[in-house]
C-alpha cells in the first residue's frame, strides 16, 4: 500500500481536470492504496517571496494554507497533480503551489512517482506539452522522483464535459496501476 496524494488545482465547480483527479484517486483507492485528495479551491496560497528561509528550516514563513499541503506532499509516496490548461500551460494556482513547495528541496521527501492530469478545450496532442515540461522542471530538482505518467482530456471546455471521455478510463487505470 502506498500513500497517494492527489492535488486538484482548478477553481471551477465541476471542473474537467478535477474529474480526472477523482478517477485517478478512485483507481488508486481500488488498488488498495491510501488516497488523500486536496483541492486548491478555497485555499489561501500566496506567492513565494524567494527568501530561501525554507532551505534552512524546511518550513515556510508565510502563514497560509501552502505549508500544510507541502507537508502532505512530503509524506506521500505518489503525487498526482491535476490542472486545467490555460494558454498551453498549467494553471497559475498549481505553479504557485509548486514554487511554495521549495522546503521539500532540502528535505528527505518520500515521493518517487509524480503524475500529471490535464484538460483543455483544445484537443491537439501537443496541448499539454508545456504544462508537462513545467512540472518536469520541478521534478528534475528532486533526484529520487520521476514523472511516472500523464493523462490529457482534450476537447472539453464546459464544466462536466469529461463524462465518457477516454481520458477518464486512462486516469482510473493509471491510478489503479499504483502498487
Report the CATH number at residue 146: 3.40.50.360
User: Domain residues for 31?
Assistant: 3-176
Q: How far apart are CA 175 and CA 120, in angstroms?
A: 21
What's the length of the chain?
179
pLDDT band at 43 (very low <50, low <70, confident <90, very high): very high
- pLDDT tens by residue, 62-83: 999 999 999 999 999 999 999 9
Q: For residue 39, what pLDDT is reported? A: 98
Number of domains in the chain: 1
The answer to whether 112 and 154 are in contact (CB under 8 A) is no
Residue 13: CB atoms within 10 Å = 9
Coil/strand/helix, residue 43: coil
Residue 62: CB atoms within 10 Å = 18
User: Residue holding cell 488498495?
Assistant: 32
Amino acid at each position: 500500500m502506498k500513500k497517494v496524494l492527489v492535488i486538484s488545482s482548478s477553481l471551477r465547480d465541476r471542473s474537467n481536470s478535477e474529474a480526472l483527479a477523482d478517477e485517478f484517486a478512485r483507481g488508486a483507492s481500488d488498488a488498495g492504496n491510501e488516497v488523500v485528495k486536496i483541492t486548491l479551491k478555497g485555499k489561501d496560497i500566496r506567492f513565494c517571496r524567494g527568501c530561501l528561509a525554507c532551505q534552512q528550516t524546511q518550513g515556510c514563513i508565510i502563514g497560509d494554507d501552502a505549508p500544510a499541503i507541502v507537508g502532505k506532499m512530503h509524506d506521500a509516496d505518489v503525487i498526482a497533480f491535476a490542472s486545467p490548461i490555460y494558454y498551453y500551460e498549467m494553471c497559475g494556482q498549481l505553479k504557485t503551489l509548486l514554487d511554495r513547495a521549495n522546503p521539500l528541496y532540502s528535505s528527505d521527501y518520500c515521493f518517487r512517482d509524480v503524475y500529471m492530469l490535464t484538460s483543455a478545450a483544445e484537443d491537439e496532442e501537443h496541448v499539454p506539452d508545456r504544462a508537462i515540461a513545467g512540472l518536469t522542471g520541478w521534478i528534475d530538482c528532486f533526484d529520487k522522483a520521476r514523472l511516472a505518467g500523464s493523462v490529457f482530456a482534450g476537447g472539453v471546455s464546459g464544466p462536466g464535459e469529461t463524462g465518457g471521455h477516454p481520458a477518464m478510463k486512462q486516469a482510473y487505470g493509471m491510478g489503479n496501476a499504483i502498487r
